[in-house]
Structure 1
Amino acid sequence: MQDPLPPTADDMDRCVDDLRTALAAHGIALPSLRLDLPAFAGTYAPPAVLVALGNCNTATARRLIAVLHGSARTASPPPLDLDLLAVPKAVPELRRTVRDYLGVPCADVQLCVTELVANVIRHVGEGTPIRVRVACTDDGGRVRVEVTDPDARALPVLVHADGDEECGRGLALLDAVALRWGVEQRADGKTVWCELDSPEE
């Protein structure tokens, strides 16, 4: 089955990444096959852009990804762990990475990640090193988001901002969409976390 339009290089990269993620959820690591899909796929000249695994086109690869994701519902994928600096320009890519990891639209999860990182930027400082973790529960029913930073003192406080106030809405939004949230303090920092229902396809 041919794609309606020839896929772009960006489409191909995203498709390969999605396929890697879907296979990883089943315990299949492509590096163990000694095959680098982007490099291999790049040897094909347009418009015959192929995914190297099985030499299928991107439409077939996307169907394979959907099947793999569907059969992996009972087994959660490994957590997504990202170490980065809390800067505004990192947020759009972080949102895309979270969407790719979950494999379905996930506006509420992306919102929570965005607000937790923005909270670090605002109250700890721009450029603070952070760790972002997104994990699915074993039964696939919930998604847990964690943002860890090195400042144990700057604790988030839920405030109800008035209509004219520009600040203070982040945690209120998180509180509205999350099932629950909290803070884990340690001597070397803190983790702010929240849990949400898993997004539906």
Structure 2
Amino acid sequence: MSEVYDTSVDLEVELLAFPKAVPELRRVVREHLGAPCADVQLCVSELVGNVIRHVGEGAPVRVRVSRAGGLTRVEVADPDQRALPGLVRATADDETGRGLALLDAVALRWGVEQGASGKTVWCELGEAGTVLDAPGQGSACVP
């Protein structure tokens, strides 16, 4: 992991996208939020995993996790403007293609912002006590 910035509200991590960095990133997110945060950790893992798979191992990424107004926002920025994520319907025999469907299921909303030097894929999750606490669904983070 390259650098971790903690502004007491937001977490920002800059790293090179390698598979071995993902478990450490999940740990840093969990520690920053101060509680088990399975949905947030899933989203961070999926978005960084997509960079590894579609942009390439070693791509520089910036991961940001922020909380405001009852929402947790996850952003993963990478330098490739062309590798845009999209939901696909994975069949029972497909080995890939389920990650964004999982993210879509736990996030309230998600999207992509394109810039001059790359893109940022983001998602927003409800915190404890919001719609994600419905039976059968977890919360973004249990304080």
Instruction: Give the TM-score taking structure 1 as reference length.
Output: 0.60
Shift of 1:78: 2.2
Describe the superposition over 1:90-111 as per-residue Cα deviations: whole angstroms up to 9, x where unpaired: 0011000000010011000000
Runs of 4+ in 1 over 2 A off after TM superposition: none
Q: CA deviation at 1:116?
A: 0.1
Structure 1 residue 152 displacement after superposition: 0.5
Q: Match for 1:193: what amino acid? A: W
Match of 1:134 among 57, 65, 68: 65
Is 1:188 equivalent to 2:130 in the alignment? Answer: no
The answer to whether 1:151 aligns with 2:93 is no
CA-based RMSD of the aligned residues comes to: 1.2
Please state which structure has a larger fraction of its residues in strand.
2
What whole-Å deviation, never above 9, does each CA across 1:26-83 have from its counterpart, x for those lacking one? Answer: xxxxxxxxxxxxxxxxxxxxxxxxxxxxxxxxxxxxxxxxxxxxxxxxxxx4210100
Report how far residue 167 of structure 1 moved. 0.8
Match of 1:89 in 2: 20
Identity %: 70
Give the TM-score taking structure 2 as reference length.
0.84
User: Whole-Å Cα distance in 1 between the matches of residues 125 and 89 of structure 2?
Assistant: 21
1:200 match: 142
Q: Partner residue of 1:119?
A: 50
Aligned pairs for 1:32-43 within 5 A = none
Which residue does the alignment assign to 2:90? Answer: 161
Q: Which runs of 5+ in 2 are unaligned?
A: 1-5, 128-140
Amino acid at match of 2:110: W
Listed as ranges, the gaps of 5+ residues in structure 1 are 1-20, 25-76
| Higher relative contact order (CA closer than 8 Å, sequence separation 6+) | 2
The residue number in structure 2 matching 1:104 is 35
What secondary structure, in the 3-state scheme, does the structure 1 residue paired with 2:20 have?
A: helix
2:85, 2:121 → 1: CA distance?
8
Offset, 1:180? 0.3
Aligned length: 125
Q: CA deviation at 1:129?
A: 0.4
The one-letter code of the counterpart of 2:33 is: L
SS across alignment from 1:88: coil
